[in-house]
Amino acid sequence: MRLLAVETSTLAGGVALLDGDRLVGEYLLDVRITHSERIMAAIDRVLVDAGWTIDDLEALAVAIGPGSFTGLRIGLGTVKGLAFGRSLPVAPVPTLDAMAAGLPFAALAVCPVIDARKDEVYVSRYRWDGVAMRREWDYLAMSPAALADRLDEPVILVGDAARSIVSPFARVAPVGRRLPSPACVGQLGLERLARGESTDAADLVPMYLRPSQAELKRRGLTVA
């Protein structure tokens, strides 16, 4: 199955093409340019480099968060547009799941940690069970200090906020393993599609662990 994966949960966004279990191409960029300015250009580039066209795609996968509210809206909106025009099945993939999937066979537990702003991080914990990375915690939003207090064993930290966790149990992954991977979003997306877990594009929603600033303003609440 030829699949396009889109990851825009953090500042480091990107896309990947998979043909079954083969990674055909991946484009990842960590720069201060908004996803709205680069996501379609990235899709066009990876398709051209692979010798594919949009019409060659058979499915889509997209990271649904948690992460940047704006980035997630852009990523999901892009995938919705592609899916609607071609009736493609879509696999929604939690961002933290995809980040943990990049460290299979790890002897230690893995905690993906994403900067949530306002002195908080998004986090969960995973462990290799011999077959896959299994999630042990809920998807959480908490302060870096609260996460450090919660750690009770050595863990591998990945994500853009990994270095904000000060704990004797923290083991920060190498830079090449730290960013969200579009290829891992695609891998988990293919696994979901194989289980019949596709989602209609109209039903795609981001995973928000807390209200956005816009939502807080609508409720008349103070935004710090």
pLDDT of 13: 86
Q: Which class for 85: exposed (0-12), middle (13-18), buried (19 or more C-beta within 10 A)?
A: exposed
- What are the residue ranges in the chain where pLDDT is below 50? 216, 219, 221-224
User: CA 141, CA 157: separation in Å to the nearest integer?
Assistant: 15
Decide: helix, strand or coil at residue 119. Answer: coil
Residue 42 neighbours by CB distance under 10 Å: 22
CB 1 within 8 A of CB 190: yes
Q: Which domains does the chain have, with CATH numbers?
A: 2-95+180-209 (3.30.420.40), 97-177 (3.30.420.40)
User: CA 54, CA 3: separation in Å to the nearest integer?
Assistant: 10
pTM to 2 decimal places: 0.92
Q: What are the pLDDT digits (tens) for 71-94?
A: 999 999 999 999 998 999 999 999
Of 50, 65, 70, give the one whose Cα is nearest residue 4. 50
User: CA 202, CA 192: separation in Å to the nearest integer?
Assistant: 18
pLDDT of 61: 98
pLDDT of 216: 44
